[in-house]
Structure 1
Amino acid sequence: MSHKLPPEMAEITRLTSSGKLTEATALIQRLVRGAASPVPPQQPPQARLRTGLGETLRGLAARVLPAGLDLGLGGGAPLEPLPDGASFETLSFTGPAGSRDYKLYVPANRSAGPLPLVVMLHGCTQGPDDFAAGTRMNALAEEHGCLVAYPGQLSTANAQKCWNWFNPDDQGRDRGEPSLIAGITRKIMRDHPVDPARVYAAGLSAGGAMAAILGTAYPDLYAAVGVHSGLPVGSARDVPTAFAAMRQGTSGGERSGRGAPVIVFHGDQDSTVNPRNADAVAAQILASHDTLVTDRNGQTPGGRTHKQTIHTDPVGRVLCEQWTVHGAGHAWMGGSKAGSYTDPKGPDASREMLRFFLQHRLGTA
């Protein structure tokens, strides 16, 4: 039997190895769409080959596309109707690094005083509406009286709409995409009654990697960050090293111990972003800190088991909370099927992140 790759897969491998991500992605999309139609039970050999090729290409895409992962072949359900008095508007921000649209959820349940703000960063091929539906963060915003912002990546900035966490120009303060997201955050703070001590950021996959960057680059802006299925700061410098970090895991860049406290979620069966990256995210914030470590094991009723590791500094402040979800892959834990890349079996990452966030304020020990 020959083990030679089919021509299509050989070409995809050649394109990705040479860093031509856009071309590789376009080829995978064309091939998968061509192989995705249902096939009758008594399918002829060519139809079986086409179906098998589609499945193989999806797996290949999951291995080689930078953190995010899917090909955008499915869509989420429409968002639920807004409560009376709530709004979910599309707005725009322009800064030296360019422009980005974002959606802002303003809850009906809001106090007269300053409100917390959570900035949510979607994964590749996703968008603000999809991410809002999948994470159900707007519903939690109603419970807790929070504003929630969803910046949207442009396909012109990245063909898969990934945040460019692997680009050195997008890994630091006051430049590139971090400056755009921080600019959106500050614009909301100017336009709405936001408590400057309670501003947070979270993201999935490429968005999680970007949230980690924000926590390191802007610890004076974000009181805490959430990294779901993401990677540590400085773990890649281009597309090939991004692939390597995703597949193998990485220790990331400099471990300075500076940065916002972080809550980390990762499935231990994630075949897209190696779970070792979660350990590296935690290690970056814990570097040079002496902490008390507490482990807790739990299970979502009728769902997945998990290990929760809490790192507390000598004065009792939680610097890092790491959730390892057993049997879970590359998806937002506890999310809704209305959005893409969710695992409804839990635990509820959105609720746990918001709990963690609201325990942290800027300027407190």
Structure 2
Amino acid sequence: MTPLSQDAMREATRLTRGGRLGEATALLRCVLGGLAGKAARDTPPNVIDGEATSMPDTASPTTPAAPPLGWRRPVRARAGAPDAAQPPIGGQFLARSYAGAAGRLGYKLYIPSTLRDAPAPLLVMLHGCTQSPDDFAAGTRMNALAEEHGCLVAYPAQEKSANAQKCWNWFSPADQHREMGEPALIAGITRAIMAEHRVDPRRVYVAGLSAGGAAAAIMAQAYPDLYAAVGVHSGLACGAARDVPSAFAAMRRGATVLVQPEEGRRIVPTIVFHADKDTTVHPRNGDQVIAQSATAGALRVEVVEGQVAGGHPYRRTIHADASGQAVLEQWLVHGGGHAWSGGSPAGTYTDPRGPDASREMLRFFLEHPRRD
């Protein structure tokens, strides 16, 4: 994908100032989703419609009838690729719905065949723009890992009625706080699963990609008493934006002002994955997710360089406390783009060349039960 243009930011600002918030938001949704949009019939031709369609990889910003930004379609499944969203033999992938004071939200729950009588870990996975629970499960292969470790995995599903591109509204102040909007719905799903199944309350985790990564960062800040650790892949720090123009700015170069956690609040252990060639969400945002969490006092930093066989090189930075316990872990994937690292081509927005973000996140999570 090409970098966000100044023209797009100016256009979003112009629409917002003109009171055309729906059009400005649709533009932002398409940017974060990484999709091409068709020109809306009832809006100016340089505004991307919420109902977007993919462009060929060879398309350019000057292609006739194309939006003003140059896009490439997400990596999608190859013909005949296995569908990782289908659970391994014995597991169940169930469709559920949650209703609460903030509204209603559907989700899918994976129950592994390896589940035992002992309380199990629970991982809540927040998909990116244009994705679905099945797509996200396929791309991350998280259900297969749940079979290995005996974990429950929940995939909340953003509604098109809430966002035309099915993005989590991480840039909306109404969706950034405890017991409000989307955070209340995601926390409600988490608590409903905990009430229905034998879940270890010390081992409840949340992770997400892109808009879902930004939403996961919000959940960690809003509910440090619920989630033991958080994983943010190609996302942004909590409070990185308050409206459409600031969201464009944060995606392009990081947040201008980094919101600091409340004093005395529990620091949620955090693992971040971001690629240094991500032109949808600048990798500086990964640094800011870490910086927002790095208020737990003096941390010892260790940097490890690595290389996936036949894949990407990477830098892994570990921030450990005085006892040697890793509190923060940051993976910078060299040469990767806006995609789930190490994911399966059976899902969208994946980079099979690794490193394996799913396995590393789950490893980090299980090393960090909540300590009250």
Task: Establish whether TM, by shorter chain, passes 0.5.
Answer: yes
1:284 and 1:168 map into 2 onto residues whose CA distance is 18
Please name the residue that 1:156 is paired with. 161
1:55 and 1:271 map into 2 onto residues whose CA distance is 23
Alignment of 1:188-337 (within 5 A): 188-250=193-255, 251-256=257-262, 258=265, 259-337=267-345
Quick check: 1:186 aligned with 2:179? Answer: no
Contact kept, 8 Å, 2:9 with 2:249, in 1: the verdict is no
Q: Deviations over 1:150-183 (max 9, x none)?
A: 0000111111111111111111111111110000
Please name the residue that 1:21 is paired with. 24
2:244 and 2:299 map into 1 onto residues whose CA distance is 35
2:288 and 2:60 map into 1 onto residues whose CA distance is 39
1:361 and 1:128 map into 2 onto residues whose CA distance is 25
> Does 176-185 or 280-289 show the bigger shift?
280-289
One of 116, 122, 125 as aligned partner of 1:117 = 122
Please name the residue that 1:136 is paired with. 141
Please name the residue that 1:92 is paired with. 97
Match of 1:181, SS state, is: helix
1:309 and 1:11, CA in 2 relative to 1: closer, same or farther beyond 3 A? closer
Query: Kindly, what percent of the aligned residue pairs are identical?
Result: 54
1:316 and 1:15, CA in 2 relative to 1: closer, same or farther beyond 3 A? closer
Alignment of 1:335-354 (within 5 A): 335-354=343-362
- How high is the TM-score relative to the length of structure 2? 0.83
Q: Deviations over 1:328-357 (max 9, x none)?
A: 110000000010000000000000000000
2:54 and 2:99 map into 1 onto residues whose CA distance is 40
Contact kept, 8 Å, 2:129 with 2:211, in 1: the verdict is yes
Q: Deviations over 1:304-363 (max 9, x none)?
A: 000000001112322100000101110000000010000000000000000000001112
Contact kept, 8 Å, 1:256 with 1:288, in 2: the verdict is no
Aligned residues: 339
Contact kept, 8 Å, 2:55 with 2:71, in 1: the verdict is no
One of 346, 349, 366 as aligned partner of 1:358 = 366
> Does 83-92 or 130-139 show the bigger shift?
83-92
- Report the CA distance between 1:246 and its aligned residue: 0.1
Match of 1:347, SS state, is: coil
1:186 and 1:35 map into 2 onto residues whose CA distance is 37
Contact kept, 8 Å, 2:115 with 2:151, in 1: the verdict is yes
Contact kept, 8 Å, 1:263 with 1:356, in 2: the verdict is yes
Contact kept, 8 Å, 1:35 with 1:53, in 2: the verdict is no
> Does 89-98 or 20-29 show the bigger shift?
20-29
Contact kept, 8 Å, 1:100 with 1:152, in 2: the verdict is yes
Contact kept, 8 Å, 1:15 with 1:23, in 2: the verdict is no
* Greater fraction helix: 1
Contact kept, 8 Å, 1:234 with 1:254, in 2: the verdict is no
Contact kept, 8 Å, 1:311 with 1:320, in 2: the verdict is yes
Structure 2 residue ranges without an equivalent (≥5): 1-5, 17-22, 40-47
Contact kept, 8 Å, 2:59 with 2:71, in 1: the verdict is no
1:83 and 1:109 map into 2 onto residues whose CA distance is 11
2:335 and 2:10 map into 1 onto residues whose CA distance is 29
- How high is the TM-score relative to the length of structure 1? 0.85
1:21 and 1:321 map into 2 onto residues whose CA distance is 35
2:157 and 2:114 map into 1 onto residues whose CA distance is 25
1:58 and 1:332, CA in 2 relative to 1: closer, same or farther beyond 3 A? farther
Quick check: 1:53 aligned with 2:50? Answer: no
Q: CA RMSD in A?
A: 3.0
Alignment of 1:165-184 (within 5 A): 165-184=170-189
Contact kept, 8 Å, 1:171 with 1:234, in 2: the verdict is yes
2:56 and 2:71 map into 1 onto residues whose CA distance is 18
Match of 1:53, SS state, is: coil
